[in-house]
């Protein structure tokens, strides 16, 4: 997986009010504007971590850590954690395709 990670995660900034959104929405949740510019965000701070221990229909599921991350100047986003980072940790953000991941810098 790691060789497919690209640095940063794409978020969307509303052209009308400047709100930053993730994931992408059809309409801005602040002003209902419909035009956005893509922006890259490269770091954030972990606010909360949860562990997904089971996934229905997955035989060889390994527990995964999922974090709520406050992106720098951006929205709260849910990312997969690649290490043992806990709340309060500044992490670097990556994308694997369109799936966001993070690990401590
Ligand atoms: Zn807006």
Tokens 């994931």 -> residue: 23
Q: How far is the CA of 44 from the centre of ligand 1 (A)?
A: 22
The pTM for the full model equals: 0.84
Contact 82, 64 (CB under 8 A): no
Kindly report, residue by residue over 44-99, the tens digit of the pLDDT.
Answer: 999 999 999 988 888 888 889 999 999 987 899 999 999 999 999 999 999 998 89
Q: How far is the CA of 41 from the centre of ligand 1 (A)?
A: 18
Q: How far is the CA of 37 from the centre of ligand 1 (A)?
A: 11
Residues forming beta bridges with residue 54, ordered by sequence position:
none
Rg from Cα positions in the chain: 15
- For the CA atoms of 50, 67, 30, 24, the dihedral, rounded to the nearest 10 degrees, stands at -110
Name residues with Cβ closer than 5 Å to ligand 1, which is an ion: 14, 16-17, 19, 28, 30-31, 33
Average pLDDT along the chain: 92
DSSP letters for 61-80:
PPPEEEEEEEETTS-EEEEE
């Amino acid at each position: 997986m790691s060789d497919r990670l690209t640095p940063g995660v794409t978020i969307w900034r509303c052209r009308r009010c400047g709100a930053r959104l993730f994931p992408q929405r059809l309409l801005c949740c602040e002003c209902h504007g419909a035009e956005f510019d893509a922006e890259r965000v490269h770091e954030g701070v972990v606010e909360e971590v949860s562990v997904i221990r089971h996934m229905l229909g997955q035989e060889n599921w390994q527990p995964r850590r999922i974090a709520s991350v406050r992106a720098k100047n951006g929205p709260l986003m849910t990312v997969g954690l690649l290490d043992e980072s806990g709340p309060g940790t500044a992490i670097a953000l990556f994308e694997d395709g369109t799936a966001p991941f993070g690990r401590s810098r």
